[in-house]
Structure 1
Amino acid sequence: MSDTGAPSPVDINSPALRTLAGADPARALTILKRALELQPDNLGAWLNYAGLLRASGDSEAALDALNHALGVEPRSFHALLMKGSIFDRQGNMPKAGRTYALALLFAPPIEQLDPPTQTALARAQAVYETYLSDFNREVWSAVDAKSGREGARDRQRVNRFLDIISGKKPSYPQKPTDYYFPGLPPIEFFDDEMFPWMDAFEGYFPDILAELQAELDRGAKTFAPYVQLPMDAPVDQWKLLNHSDTWSSLAMKSNGRVVEENAPRFPKTLEALALLPQPVVPNRSPVAIFSALKPRTKIPPHHGVSNTRMVVHLPLIVPNHCGFRVGSETREWKPGKAWVFDDTIEHEAWNDSDQLRVILIADIWNPYLTDYEREMYAAILGAVDAFHNEAVAYSEAI
């Protein structure tokens, strides 16, 4: 005990106090209350005090004590778990579910918890899953009741909003590595109807595939590692792919120009690319490449350079067990079916097959940029390069 007669923080959590709480809970409550008057920021005391109040059946007082505990530490797992358990006992499933959600967010590894807390955590998980199911059913029913002739495409953004607020899917913002242009919407995959050239572009699929296959039959010696960062650079997630032919590319357009040494072998590919509204930014864009991913290779999550341009994929050779994720949406490539996505939203790709995967990749202007904004963007980046007296290799069309 301290000189004031109140227990110290060590005393509050001592075996003696726990024994007293079991034999004389009223006395233990008095001791804890006095300690909290002197030490209002003592998280352990608030948790013990709330636990005793809950055990005594005074749920409202226990909730008040837990709110004080969360005032000391808003991320307190034990306070959130106990608070959720009180709502759970009261049958208030919406509050229990939302409170348990926070407890689960801040839960330590399960092996660090004692058996009773592990049991409480399992209960929290079960209640939270029921809460999510009930929440989704209620909200989706309200949307369905209000919807008329709208189809899935009309409701795409509404459905995405519901997924986010229900916790079914997270929200992924645009995070360009270099150039963020404000006011452009973050769209994971764009609707094909936004691009009148899409059908004609996909119509070139057989010719492009034939040109690619002829190149592969020659040994694919023209493909080079896609990631070629300096060996002394902090390569982070690119360590396994840097200067590796497990992910390689063959350029049709690079640094704003057609790659002349490759052009004669790919006339139809270049003819198809001419249909696209590719950005014209001197020394930077347009860009178009064949991207080859060897078996059992993964491209880690990453972000593109600028949200002023989007990326087109035309799958050419796609074995089973290949996939692609942009934000919260995962898709499988289908040979001949192109799509447009925002690569400044976190995305990743993988080839879990035993065969090579190859797609044609190209950049296009973001359809939400005006003609004036496109012109100014190109002029600004031209000025940036002129100031630094260098041409920037703009190869992040992934």
Structure 2
Amino acid sequence: MTDDATTALPATAEQLNRHALTALREGRFDEAVCGFRAALALDPRAAPLWHNLAHACRLNADDAGEAAALDRALAIDQRDLLAHVRRAQLLQRCNDESGAFAAWSAVRQLTQNGPPLAPAMADQIAAGLAYFAALEQRLTGRVEQAMGQPDAALDPAEQRRIAAFVDTALGRRRTYTNVCAGLHYPFLPADEFFDRHHFPWFAQLEAEAPAIRRELHALLDDGDSALRPYVRMSEGAPANVWSALDGSLDWGACFLWEYGVANQPVLDKCPRTAAALAAVPGTMLPGRAPNAFFSLLKPHTRIPPHTGVTNTRAIVHLALDIPPDCGFRVGGETRQWVAGQAFAFDDTIEHEAWNHSDQRRAVLILDCWNPHLSDHERAAIARYCAVLDDTMPSALGRI
């Protein structure tokens, strides 16, 4: 290109782009690169121009130039799918497996549940994701071989965390965070199921499970009027995920304690259960806690995914009547109840339950302090709640 030809180039970014596109179609790749760069000097926020420059660099075998142009396009829009695809293809061509793995992973995330793609783009992405899957399979195999069988010297909590770490690192498990409708206490671990060693009193509670179960059955056989729908939406509330259970005994509850108030008639009918609850080092907050109730889930009923009120507490389930085909998920971990056994979880992490059987499922549910809180922190929370309730009594019933 002569100096005269350079001075004769059109002046606007659009004209420069058209001239460069013509050079590109005619195989004059150096001239196309120069033309796109000149256009970008006039309009550096034009993402399509960066795409054109990247394409020209690609045809001109300039990997560094293509990478730089794609990075500029992504700096304008981090959700630029075409730029992500071209960047992943570039890294794959350059045999940068680690970089290509991360880049195709980003493409996969962008296209999940997205709108339909043009056939040509869909084919390119499918080819890239097939390459990604092969890398993922190879990595997974080597990681699993390196990790080997669980070390017998590890306790169950360590084994569970190691397994969750590997699954998260390999993209097989999502990380969930606390979503609190009420009080959120900072810096507590966002663990889905609390380790059993935090609750040395579980053994005593579980020893009472047969007696608690008998008392529940006697209560139900008497047709106790204390049984009520767990979900009771306010009149006029808009339709939501709870509408199917609103006012229904498909998910029923019989409270022994509710917001720190004893349901004495039910406690009187269930003396062994009352004694077992009295032995639990629970949360004592007037007007707020403890809470304890029999939770009954009818056959073929599902409790939708939801989150709770505060991460200052742990929710305990003591399994009583557990038919097959029941399950409980908290975050990325699913468990089956085992009759007579207890577990504790953080209900501010998304959780759901289901009963796909033809029989009723029954558990005793109670709350206690989050085990990661010190005694001083628990006292501070209690003082705050007391002031809040004294200042704004309408807040009663929410922790």
Tell whether the structures are fold-level matches, with TM greater than 0.5. Answer: yes
Output the CA distance in 2 between the equivalents of 1:69 and 1:145: 45
Output the CA distance in 2 between the equivalents of 1:109 and 1:157: 30
1:185 to 184, 189, 195: 189
Give the number of equivalent residue pairs: 390
Aligned match of 2:4: none
After the TM superposition, which residues 314-329 of structure 1 pair with which residues of structure 2 at under 5 Å, given as runs? 314-329=318-333
Note the C-alpha offset of 1:311. Answer: 0.7
After the TM superposition, which residues 38-57 of structure 1 pair with which residues of structure 2 at under 5 Å, given as runs? 38-57=42-61
* Percent identity between the two aligned chains: 33
TM-score in terms of structure 2 length: 0.87
Distance 1:22 1:322, change over 3 A: farther
Note the C-alpha offset of 1:100. Answer: 1.0
Distance 1:108 1:256, change over 3 A: closer
Q: Contact 2:13–2:42 at 8 Å: present in 1 too?
A: no
Note the C-alpha offset of 1:354. Answer: 3.4
Q: Does 1:244 align with 2:251?
A: no
Give 5+ residue unaligned stretches, structure 2: 1-8
CA-based RMSD of the aligned residues comes to: 3.0
Q: Does 1:76 align with 2:80?
A: yes
Aligned AA (2:27): D
Output the CA distance in 2 between the equivalents of 1:118 and 1:18: 25
Aligned match of 1:95: 99
Q: Contact 1:315–1:335 at 8 Å: present in 2 too?
A: yes
Aligned AA (2:269): R
Distance 1:390 1:23, change over 3 A: closer
Output the CA distance in 1 between the equivalents of 2:231 and 2:134: 45
Aligned match of 1:119: 123
Q: Contact 2:193–2:346 at 8 Å: present in 1 too?
A: yes
Note the C-alpha offset of 1:84. Answer: 0.5
Moved more, 16-25 or 78-87: 16-25
After the TM superposition, which residues 122-201 of structure 1 pair with which residues of structure 2 at under 5 Å, given as runs? 122-138=126-142, 149-150=153-154, 152-201=156-205
State the SS of the aligned residue for 1:240: helix
Moved more, 132-141 or 30-39: 132-141
2:14 to 4, 8, 11: 8
For each residue in 1:83-135, what CA deviation from the matched residue of structure 2 results, as whole angstroms up to 9, or x when unmatched? 10111122221110101111222227666322221112112322333333444
Q: Contact 1:77–1:103 at 8 Å: present in 2 too?
A: yes
State the SS of the aligned residue for 1:359: strand
Moved more, 210-219 or 332-341: 210-219
State the SS of the aligned residue for 2:299: coil
State the SS of the aligned residue for 2:264: coil
Moved more, 342-351 or 17-26: 17-26
1:224 to 224, 228, 233: 228
Aligned match of 1:343: 347
For each residue in 1:163-185, what CA deviation from the matched residue of structure 2 results, as whole angstroms up to 9, or x when unmatched? 33332222212222111223322
Distance 1:25 1:4, change over 3 A: closer
Aligned match of 2:208: 204
For each residue in 1:213-234, what CA deviation from the matched residue of structure 2 results, as whole angstroms up to 9, or x when unmatched? 2233334643111122322446
Aligned AA (2:195): D
Distance 1:247 1:334, change over 3 A: same
Aligned AA (1:59): D
Q: Does 1:296 align with 2:287?
A: no
Q: Contact 1:69–1:79 at 8 Å: present in 2 too?
A: yes
After the TM superposition, which residues 344-359 of structure 1 pair with which residues of structure 2 at under 5 Å, given as runs? 344-359=348-363
Q: Contact 2:150–2:159 at 8 Å: present in 1 too?
A: no
Distance 1:235 1:181, change over 3 A: farther
Note the C-alpha offset of 1:284. Answer: 1.3
Aligned AA (1:103): V
Moved more, 158-167 or 361-370: 158-167
Distance 1:20 1:112, change over 3 A: farther
Q: Contact 1:94–1:131 at 8 Å: present in 2 too?
A: no
Moved more, 332-341 or 238-247: 238-247
Note the C-alpha offset of 1:323. Answer: 1.4
Give 5+ residue unaligned stretches, structure 1: none
Q: Does 1:33 align with 2:33?
A: no
Aligned AA (1:24): G
Output the CA distance in 2 between the equivalents of 1:109 and 1:346: 20
For each residue in 1:351-387, what CA deviation from the matched residue of structure 2 results, as whole angstroms up to 9, or x when unmatched? 2333322211000122222223223322321221111
Aligned match of 2:380: 376
Note the C-alpha offset of 1:153. Answer: 3.5
State the SS of the aligned residue for 1:377: helix
Q: Contact 1:323–1:333 at 8 Å: present in 2 too?
A: yes
Output the CA distance in 1 between the equivalents of 2:220 and 2:133: 50
